[in-house]
Amino acid sequence: ICVERSLEMVVGLLGILKAGAAYLPLDPAYPAERLAYMLSDAAPVALLTQSALAETLDSHLPTVVLDARSPSALDGA
Neighbour count for residue 53 (Cβ, 10 Å): 19
CA distance 75 to 15: 25
pLDDT-derived band at 76 (thresholds 50, 70, 90) equals very low
Q: Which residue has the higher pLDDT, 58 or 3?
A: 3
Residue 73 pLDDT > 50: no
Q: What is the pLDDT of residue 55?
A: 84
Q: How many CA atoms lie within 13 A of 46 on its CB side?
A: 11
- Residue 77, pLDDT > 70, answer no
Using CA atoms, how far residue 11 sits from 1, 40, 63, 65, 66, in Å, is 11, 25, 16, 12, 8
Does 7 have pLDDT greater than 80? Answer: yes
